[in-house]
Amino acid sequence: MSKKAFIFDLDGVIVDTAKYHFLAWQKIASQLGIEFTPEHNEELKGVSRVRSLDIILALGNIEIGQEEKNKWLTQKNEDYLSYIEHMDETEILPGVVNILEFIKEKKQLIALGSASKNARPILEKVKILHLFDAIVDGNDVTNAKPDPEVFLRAAKLVKAKNANAIVFEDSVAGIQAANIANMISVGIGDANILHEAKYNFKDFTFMDTSFIEALMN
């Protein structure tokens, strides 16, 4: 039996950072006089920093030049980094480590497929970098989710076929990317929002290791 590649998104799947991205964007939206709700935020999940700003600007019907965009992008990341500065293992989402360790124990492959340029330092902060056989993040890809590039690269790095890859995602864009890549998509979060996923779990505490075992066969 060939090995399976389990590809994890980072923000909102492994760590509870989605709330910090939201806070940092909300601050910018309010400075721009744009109303930005948690519902709007769903559209930003899994999406690159640059694209996220464009979505927010479009919400407010605002057009600005590149220089001003760069200013907001810098502010966003500085605020975000200040929120995660003191991050530690306590911000790992419940049940994830158990699943990661089970996959490791079964000698299957683990990869990261994240849009974030801050992915590596975060994995270091929460002390689970060593569990990953491959990491593909926002520094490695040119096309943002729902483009499948990030997951295709991850599968390639661990030498797994796309059909042997399983993607865990909390974003609509990420689930779409996994589906486009012909991978098995697993939604982590609200099943109504992530209804395009093949499987859905509210969070990893609802996922039994038997689910992983079944995917291996």
Angle at CA of residue 72, ends 31 and 9, nearest 5°: 110
Catalytic, out of 9, 133, 137, 170 = 9
The residue number whose beta carbon is nearest to Mg ion equals 12
Task: Identify which of residues 71 and 159 has a Cβ nearer to ligand BG6 in the complex.
Answer: 71
- Residue 208 annotated to the active site: no
Q: Answer with the entry of Mg ion, ligand BG6, none that 115 interacts with (C-beta below 5 to 8 A by kind).
A: ligand BG6
- Residue 137 annotated to the active site: no
Q: Answer with the entry of ligand BG6, Mg ion, none that 187 interacts with (C-beta below 5 to 8 A by kind).
A: none
Residues whose CB is less than 8 angstroms from the CB of residue 34 and which lie 6 or more positions away in sequence, other chains included: 56, 57, 59, 60, 62
Q: Answer with the entry of Mg ion, ligand BG6, none that 154 interacts with (C-beta below 5 to 8 A by kind).
A: none
Report whether 8 contacts 187 (CB < 8 A): no
The Cα-based distances of 24 to 16, 17, 126, 154, 167 in angstroms read: 14, 11, 21, 28, 27
Please state the φ and ψ torsions of residue 185, each to the nearest 5 degrees.
Answer: -100, 135
Residues that bind Mg ion (CB under 5 A): 9, 11-12, 46, 170-171
Task: Identify which of residues 50 and 64 has a Cβ nearer to ligand BG6 in the complex.
Answer: 50
Residues that bind ligand BG6 (CB under 6 A): 10-11, 21, 44-49, 52, 77, 114-118, 138, 171
Q: How far apart are CA 169 and CA 8, in angstroms?
A: 7
- Active site (catalytic) residues: 9, 11
